Amino acid sequence: MSGIVRIRLAAITAAALAAACGGGARSAGSHAPAPLVADSTAAAVAAPGAESLAVVAARAAQDSAADQRVLDSLHGPPRVADTLQTHPVTTPPVKGEEVEREAVRLFGAEGRTAIGAAAPAEPTFDIDVSSFATNRRVLEYLEFFQVDARDRFEIWLSRLGRYQGMIRERLRAKGLPEDLLYLTLIESGLSNTAVSRAKAVGMWQFMATTGRLYGLTVDPWVDERRDPFKATEAAVNYLADLRQRLGSVYLAAAAYNAGVGRIERGIDRLPGETDSVDDHTFFQLSDRRYLRRETRDYVPKLIAASLIAKQPDRYGFAVEPLPPLTFDEITVPDATGLDVLARLADTTVAALLELNPQFVRGVTPPGRSVVVRVPRGHGTLVAERFDSLAVTDRITFVDHYVARGQTLSEIAKRYHVNVGLIESANPRLRAHALRVGQRIIVPMSGRVVPASAWSVPPEPRYRRVSSTDASAGRHRVRSGETASGIARRYGVSLTALLNYNGLTMGSLLRAGDVLKIPQRCEATC
């Protein structure tokens, strides 16, 4: 075997990951490995090569959109004022518990034995759940996850099986509570392709700047914020830095959501000595509304998600955990399509995309060696097949992003293909109405992609809302702008604007912040 493709059989075994799982969560190690499929609940495993990258990517995008709708609804309109007051509320028992309770009431301890029931084991947590489990907002999110978000939350719980062993192991290595794992539930639903409205990406929802700061590659070809293994490493390091700086797990979690500066400014506003802080400090900040509404709810969401994840049956969830990912790693030296590698590995495109979500264009980057994961036990086979693969067979398609002034004939000439071939691959393409930044699929099977032909996706652009726009929109704060001035510009009341964004009169606006603008009816009705 030549040195073109270097194998690293750095496989992560299901048994090792299952052994790392703890704290009462259902172990995934007891399940036989299942075929790797996309996270979509209805994803069927097709024969290798039966589906194109575009089809699989479109299905994954639909799955991510379903996740995002639920995640966005976590930031609903404010309810009554936050409070530290707690209310003792008993979790509604499932039917089995009702039967057991009735048996014990009628026949004492013997009743439990008669129905073959054992006393339910109480889960253990390494974050402080018990002190705040009856906080009003925790109870509201418990209800939300069980009712409003039930179907999607059940999918998220099943995804825990994929990653929880790996995440717990890395949290443990950093001396962090392993139950911080459940941040992934409220950040992304454990979706590697999640993209928030603020352009945070991946399972751990990193912004590009923070991701790069913690060693993640973010470029037009590779976005390691989508890589569950590398993103977890970065997130764990970030959380460790935040806890060391703030001295509290819950304050670190809040800072992960809002930024450490906001949390420190809130602590400075608290009365009395602020030298000693702990998890209760977060609820003090929340009670005084020193934090934005989303951040005030962040820890209650974490606690609610943790309670359910540790004992899903008790909350009425029937969860079948997905098995942990197991894989070999190979090094690919130049641009190669994931669909081609899937064929070499005798697996599906969906399976390879799930193992390698960081390759955002479905192709490894040109002129650069990268590590690619393939299903466990297939590394040597893929390496051997790759060595004998013709250069012209490495790429089946490329994606081209239209530049200003480009025509379809120019694009075809650039890739040495004819216009008809491009049109057949893009049925809805209007050749005389190309848009700048538009993505066009260019078939390349049997051809070498010229090095100069690769195009780069356009940078995301933010729409500037005009002063006459009466519909709901967003406004990016510019230097010197005030909340009152922005409210006047859009014809809404200052109170409505602040409430809609979870702000107070004392909140500090910074250039670059994005404010949601309420409908005028919402501001006055």
Q: Which residue has the higher pLDDT, 513 or 308?
A: 308
**Cα dihedral sign for 423, 424, 430, 436?**
negative
pLDDT of residue 491: 81
pLDDT average, residue stretch 410-417: 91
pLDDT of residue 257: 94
Amino acid at 64: S
Top mean pLDDT of 285-294, 372-381, 461-470 is at 372-381
Count Cβ atoms within 10 A of the Cβ of residue 283 and give its class: 0-12 exposed, 13-18 middle, 19 or more buried. buried
The continuous run of DSSP H or E covering 246 comes out as helix 228-246
Per-residue pLDDT tens digits for 29-79: 333 333 333 333 233 333 334 466 767 777 877 887 888 788 877 765 334
pLDDT average, residue stretch 416-442: 90
Report whether pLDDT(218) > 90. yes
**Owner of token pair 């071939």:** 421
Does one domain contain both 124 and 190? yes
Record the tokens describing residue 336, joined without a space: 């190669």
Does one domain contain both 497 and 407? no
Bridge partners of 86? 135
| CATH number, domain with residue 403 | 3.10.350.10
Domain that holds residue 381: 326-391
Does one domain contain both 213 and 310? yes
Residue 243 covered by a domain: yes
Report whether pLDDT(334) > 80. yes
Record the tokens describing residue 353, joined without a space: 């995309």
Per-residue pLDDT tens digits for 76-132: 533 433 433 444 434 444 444 555 555 555 555 555 555 455 555 678 999 999 999
Model confidence at 137, pLDDT cuts 50, 70, 90, reads: very high
Residue 60 covered by a domain: no
Per-residue pLDDT tens digits for 433-480: 999 889 999 998 778 787 778 887 876 543 333 333 333 578 888 877
Count Cβ atoms within 10 A of the Cβ of residue 46 and give its class: 0-12 exposed, 13-18 middle, 19 or more buried. middle
pLDDT of residue 229: 98
Does one domain contain both 293 and 346? no
**Owner of token pair 């609903």:** 76
Number of domains forming the structure of the chain = 4
Does one domain contain both 255 and 188? yes
Report whether pLDDT(179) > 80. yes
Does one domain contain both 207 and 292? yes
Residues 6+ apart with CB under 8 A from 91: 142, 314, 315
Does one domain contain both 417 and 342? no
